[in-house]
Amino acid sequence: MRNELIAKRYIKPIMQSCDQESLENLSTLLSMVAEAYKNEKFNLIMNSNDVSASAKCQLILEMVASANSTMVNNLIKLLSENGRLLLIPVIADQLKREIGRAKRTFTGRIYSNNAVDQASVEKIAQDLGKKMDATIALSYVASDFDGVRVEVDDLNVEINFSKSRLNAQLVEHILKAI
């Protein structure tokens, strides 16, 4: 959570100083660098006290050299100066979310213990998108949830339909009617 707050301090000026195309290019570039953080050897280098901060900075600058962007280079150098190169994956994720908010495109998940076919996933995403006035992409995640749960974190939306809860409410309703 703390890292997300720190990352937002970097995201805000980036969002204010770049146009939409530049933001999307930067997001793609940072996401590519963030993928490197999933590599164990890369993480060892970035977390090592034996490797100098300038060497770490140079390594990442070489990764983004193809962009030929002064702004990207300055961002990497700024993160390095502040000892925050490890925040790049968080910044990449936050930037992607902010771009999604600006474009009203969001991603979410459908949890269920029964397989949900792709057509149903797309239909749920389309209907939910209409309700929320947004474009929503959902992905199915197998779980042990007895029913269906839809989550879209960036919109703070969670919809549950549980078989056990439905049965309990049905029994309660019948008992009240008697």
Query: What backbone torsions phi and psi does residue 109 show, to the nearest 5 degrees?
Result: -135, 150
Instruction: Choose one of 76, 100, 124: the last residue of a domain.
Output: 100
Token code pair at residue 111:
């949890």
Identify the pLDDT of residue 166: 73
Same domain, 87 and 118: no
Q: Which of 82, 100, 118 is the last residue of a domain?
A: 100
CA dist 150 and 163 (Å) reads: 15
- The 3-state DSSP class for residue 15 equals helix
Q: Using the 3D structure, point to which of 51, 67, 100 is the last residue of a domain.
A: 100
Instruction: Kindly list the strands in the beta sheet with 135-142, ordered across the sheet, starting from the edge strand earlier in the chain.
Output: 135-142, 105-112, 147-152, 157-162
Q: CATH number of the domain at 15, please.
A: 1.10.520.20
Whole domain around residue 163: which residue ranges? 104-177
Q: Is 120 helix (H, G, I), strand (E, B) or coil?
A: helix
Query: Looking at beta carbons, which pairs linking 118-125 to residues 24 or more positions away fall under 8 Å?
Result: 124/150
- How many CB atoms are located within 10 Å of the residue 114 CB? 10
* pLDDT for position 167: 75
Q: What is the pLDDT of residue 160?
A: 86
My answer on whether 108 and 169 are in the same domain is: yes
Are 145 and 115 members of one domain? yes
Q: Tell how far CA 31 is from the center of its chain.
A: 10
Residues 29 and 82 grouped into a single domain? yes
Per-residue confidence (pLDDT) for residue 120, from 0 to 100? 87
93 and 132 housed in the same domain: no
Same-domain check for residues 119 and 140 = yes
- CATH code: domain of residue 110: 3.30.2320
Q: What pLDDT is attached to residue 162?
A: 77
Whether residues 111 and 76 fall in one domain? no
pLDDT tens-place values along the chain, 178 residues long: 788 888 889 999 998 888 888 889 999 999 999 999 999 999 999 999 999 999 999 999 999 998 888 889 999 999 999 999 999 999 999 999 899 888 899 989 999 888 888 888 899 899 989 988 899 999 999 888 888 889 998 888 888 887 777 777 778 878 888 7
94 and 108 part of one domain: no
Domain tally for the chain? 2
pLDDT at 61: 94
